[in-house]
Amino acid sequence: MSVWRIVRIALIPSAAAFAQPFYPPLGTFNESIVCLDQNGHGIPYAWIELTPATYLFTNAHLHDDPTHPISTVSPLYGYANAQGAFAYTMRTTLIGQHEALLSRCIAPGGGVLHTTFQHRVGYPDLFYNHHESIWRKIGGTDTGKNTGHGTTDYNRYMRLDAAYGIYYSTLDYLGAHPNQTRVCTNDMALPWGGKFDIEALEGKPWRNPHVSHDRGTAADIAGPTSSQCPVAEQVNVAQFVQACVARGAHWNVPHANHAHCNWANPTTYPH
């Protein structure tokens, strides 16, 4: 039994759809590690050790600190069963990020094998969303303050239904305001979603506010008094929200200086 490998068995909704599996934030997943010999057979009663880890600066979190959350695994070690399977539970963090599960398998015969399983925490259905002809990019380090997430290009990811929703809402609004050619957009979601911790550099990393922007279903459109958007491209907040509602947005929050349109109820996703 000198040649063997480790198998990780997981029930992940989006695992088969991507080169690397995605786990939704704040989820619980029951999985197994199996050590296989060179013939693909499980090694009974192998000793397994697991160590969860995270990669820094992924998913546009261009900041770090000692409180950086990592998904948890329990138990962290133990013997495999007679089939060679070691069951454990992984609970993902709220943070969209690149993570790894480092494993060590010790066969009863003494051989040791280290294997790294990589995965992402977040959502695999968020697309970069910017249409230059009707939207001006504001926010991020381009026109706003540094929140620790780079330029506004890093927070322009949306689920397709919401992306089309904000697109057609904009066209409807511009159609009703023929003297206006563009509106200013900002703060959709990070590339894989998850906690968009806009106060990370203000002593509040990895946490709220900004709950509506964790799933890629919301966007902000600049209104009067916005210091980042030219006056000619600012919107009438009430009228733009009305355009969003007509295109299916339901969970809108009134703000004085921007229209906030959300195509999903924040209570339906972790935040």
Residue 252 CB, nearest approach to other proteins (Å)? 23
Question: How many helices (H) and strands (E) in the chain?
Answer: 3, 16
Q: CA-to-CA distance for 216 and 191, rounded, in angstroms?
A: 9
Closest CA to 157 of 122, 133, 184: 122
Q: What is the DSSP letter of 108?
A: T
Q: What are the backbone angles phi and psi of residue 28, rounded to the nearest 5°?
A: -120, 130
Among 72, 74, 89, 116, contact with other proteins (rule: CB under 8 A): 116
By CB under 8 A, tell whether 12 contacts other proteins. Answer: yes
Which range, of 126-134, 204-212, 219-227, 256-264, touches other proteins by CB under 8 A?
126-134
By CB under 8 A, tell whether 11 contacts other proteins. Answer: yes
Nearer to other proteins, 37 or 239 (CB): 37
Residue 225 CB, nearest approach to other proteins (Å)? 28
Q: CA-to-CA distance for 188 and 92, rounded, in angstroms?
A: 22
71, 52 contact by CB (below 8 A)? yes
Largest CA distance in the chain: 78
> Would you state the structure tokens that stand for residue 196, as one six-digit string?
């968009």
Interacting residues with other proteins between 38 and 97 (CB under 8 A): 38-42, 53, 55-58, 60, 62-64, 83-85
Chain residues binding other proteins by CB under 8 A are 3-12, 15-21, 32, 34, 36, 38-42, 53, 55-58, 60, 62-64, 83-85, 98, 100, 102, 111-118, 124-131, 141, 148, 150-151, 153-154, 156-157, 160, 163, 191-192
